[in-house]
Amino acid sequence: MEFTIKQEGGFKYIDEGQGEILLLLHGLFGALSNWEEVISTFSKNYRVVIPMMPIYEMPLKESSVEGLVKYIEGFVAFKNLTGLTLLGNSLGGHIGLIYALNNGENVVRMVLTGSSGLFEDSMGGSFPKRGNYEYIKERVVYTFYDPLAATKELIDEVFEITNNNQKCLRIINIARSAQRHNLKKDLPKIEIPTLLIWGLNDTITPPEVAHEFMRLLPNAELRFIDKCCHAPMMEHPVKFNEHLAKFLKDTQAVYVS
């Protein structure tokens, strides 16, 4: 399914459908393809918005979790988006959590999948090695339960990113800032309904991380997906969407209150 990327006010974004707003936040190596099934399924009844975070283009001094949160805050203000349901994968979950802490009045519920913020095994334990295709291939495969999910197209895309010196510096800055910005003490402040959808075989943010999020978030529920790693919405889109649809239905009263 083809989606139109809009450009306005210095922002690039997807904006599909009408109704309650689902704001989707991608991860460090995320792309629109990560959320394709979510967009096509939920844009029939919701307004699905995906800001394209300038991970590889933002000024080097601003390349951090805090810089990306400011970018999302600017985008939300520019588009005058209110009553948000935030969905975040990996780094996107981390950014969504900080956004919710800073802007609690504008977030009604949240969905986290493979989120950083407590612990993550970044790139399988080390930062990207430039110019080593086999290493990059190994690291991309590491993020999926089924090795075949790591397509050559995806591996080539990540290799191109990590083989660019300026992009690689930004990735390292953001990854390090994410590891420094631990949210353990702040999570109990987030009282909105939160759904945790986690791969039972996640190697980047293992299942114990999901259990810790569950323990620390006052109003959270946890759903595991078997034979699934770090990107459930890509690896098991049908099961992911089933969990998401039920959560949205069950928390509808919260949205309209």
Q: 151 lies in a domain?
A: no
| Model confidence pLDDT, tens digit, residues 174-190 | 888 888 889 999 999 99
Q: What is the pLDDT along the chain (257 residues), one digit of tens a residue?
A: 678 899 999 999 999 999 999 999 998 776 667 899 999 999 999 999 999 998 888 888 888 999 999 999 999 999 999 999 999 999 999 999 999 999 999 999 999 999 999 976 554 334 455 568 888 888 888 889 998 888 888 888 888 888 888 888 888 888 888 888 899 999 999 999 999 999 999 999 999 999 999 999 999 999 999 999 999 999 999 999 999 999 999 998 666 55
Is residue 138, in this structure, part of any structural domain at all? no
Q: Are 198 and 114 in contact (CB under 8 A)?
A: yes
What residue numbers bound the domain in which 208 lies?
6-120+182-256
Number of domains in the chain: 1
Q: Identity (one letter) of the amino acid at 83?
A: G
Residue 186 located in a structural domain: yes
205 touches 92 (CB < 8 A) = no
CA-based nearest residue to 9, from 63, 74, 59: 74
Helix and strand totals (H; E) in the chain: 10, 8
Tokens found for residue 240: 């992911």
Residue 152 within a domain: no
**CATH code (residue 186):** 3.40.50.1820
Q: Which helix H or strand E contains 219, and what residues bound it? A: none
In a domain, 125, yes or no: no
The answer to whether position 24 is within a domain reads yes
The kind and range of the H/E element at 84 are: strand 84-89
φ/ψ (deg, to 5) at 225: -120, 125
Would 134 be classed as within a structural domain? no
Residue 131: inside a domain = no
